[in-house]
């Protein structure tokens, strides 16, 4: 019984840590995401760096849906691109793990 109560208490305490996900900065909302870089080849875009976005921890699958993990990872990658003054991101395939989501992309400034 003590073990059960200990596990229940631990999960309850962890849920307080897991409820919040990565918010998006209002300036980052306008950043465009693409999965295919041929879309931006016709434009005269300048690559400004590689960006990553991730969300999730080993315990988050208990409390946060996959959809919310993905949205938070997108918010994170857009915020990182905003820090580079980019307005476009070309994403690689998202890396989904059992408990988290990680995205990798190239940030561009396009006219």
Q: 1-109: what fold?
A: Translation Initiation Factor IF3 (3.30.110)
Residue ranges of domains in the chain: 1-109
pLDDT digits (tens, 9 = 90+) for 22-73: 677 777 888 988 887 777 777 889 999 999 998 887 776 677 888 888 889 9
According to the model, what pLDDT value does residue 2 have? 63
What is the C-alpha to C-alpha distance for residues 88 and 108, in angstroms, rounded to an integer? 5
Burial class of residue 21, CB neighbours in 10 A (0-12, 13-18, 19+): middle
pLDDT digits (tens, 9 = 90+) for 68-89: 888 899 999 999 999 999 999 9
Would you say 69 and 101 are in contact if contact means Cβ atoms under 8 Å apart?
A: yes
Q: What is the pTM of this model?
A: 0.73
To the nearest 10°, report the CA torsion of 36, 70, 47, 25: 140
């Amino acid at each position: 019984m003590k073990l059960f109560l200990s596990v229940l208490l631990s999960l309850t305490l962890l849920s307080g840590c897991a409820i919040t996900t990565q918010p998006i900065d209002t300036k980052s909302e306008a950043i465009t995401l693409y999965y295919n870089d041929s879309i931006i080849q016709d434009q005269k875009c300048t690559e400004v760096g590689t960006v990553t976005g991730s969300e999730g921890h080993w315990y988050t699958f208990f409390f946060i849906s996959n959809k919310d993990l993905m949205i938070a990872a997108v918010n994170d990658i857009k915020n990182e691109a905003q820090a580079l003054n980019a307005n476009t991101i070309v994403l690689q395939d998202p890396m989904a793990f059992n408990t988290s989501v990680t995205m990798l992309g190239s940030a561009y400034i396009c006219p």
